[in-house]
Structure 1
Amino acid sequence: MKLHAAAILIIFWLGVFTVHTVKGSAGSQPMRKFSCVSLFTQQLNIRQLVSYEKQQVPVNAIMFITTKGIKICVSPDQKWVQAAMKKIDQKRATKGR
């Protein structure tokens, strides 16, 4: 029984060491949990957008996050997208004061 418990303990510690090693090497490079692969073509309601992230890979896009936490990818070349980003930046600036 002691041998069985020791084997389980060794396997557990090897697992912890492996996770820690992988987490350390991958943790040094930021990884996105959500990445844009296609773009939404319709204009969004700017009042429903709370933040955005710029993305260049795999496609050049702006990922807007709505008040409900929904992430929507759009083309950064559209005029309304630039206006929405500017409005979000202005909101952030006034909150920081």
Structure 2
Amino acid sequence: MKLLTAAILVIFCLGIFTAHTVKGSVGSQRMRRFSCVRLSTQQLNIRNLVSYEKQQVPVNAIMFITTKGIKICVSPDQKWVQSAIKKIDQKRTTKGK
């Protein structure tokens, strides 16, 4: 009887340890708060953009962040988008100097 109780206790402890380990590894992953699912087709004013993030999932997109904190998703394939990214990168490098 003592052996059965000890075996059940060991199985119970392993179950709790496994559940805690799995929960910790999933919980420690950083989740995005905002991700692009639809893309804007309008060209944005480059002067109003302060930053950007590249995204590949669930859609390939560039998320621009405006001076007011608004996040707008656009297709990275457009020429104006590439120009805006270069302009933002230039601003970042000149601020760092």
TM-score band (shorter)? Answer: 0.7 to 0.9
- Alignment of 1:93 onto 2:93: yes
Give 1 or 2 for the bigger CA radius of gyration.
2
Q: How big is the shift at 1:37?
A: 0.1
TM-score, normalised by the number of residues in structure 1: 0.73
> What is the rounded CA distance, in whole Å, between the counterparts of 2:96 and 2:52 in structure 1?
17
Matched letter for residue 93 of structure 1: T
In the aligned structure 2, how far is the partner of 1:83 from the partner of 1:38?
A: 21
CA–CA separation in structure 1 for the residues paired with 2:23 and 2:86: 36
The aligned runs of 1:1-97 (5 Å cut-off) are 24-26=24-26, 28-97=28-97
SS of the residue 2:47 aligns to: helix
Cα distance, 1:23–1:95 mapped onto 2, change above 3 Å:
farther
TM-score, with normalisation over the residues of structure 2? 0.73
Letter of the structure 2 residue corresponding to residue 57 of structure 1: V
5+ residue gaps, structure 2, are 1-20
The residue identity in structure 1 corresponding to 2:42 is: Q
The number of equivalent residue pairs is: 78
The alpha-carbon distance between structure 1 residues 38 and 93, as it changes in their structure 2 partners (threshold 3 A), is same
* 1:66-95 Cα shifts (integer Å, max 9, x gaps): 000000000000000000000000000000
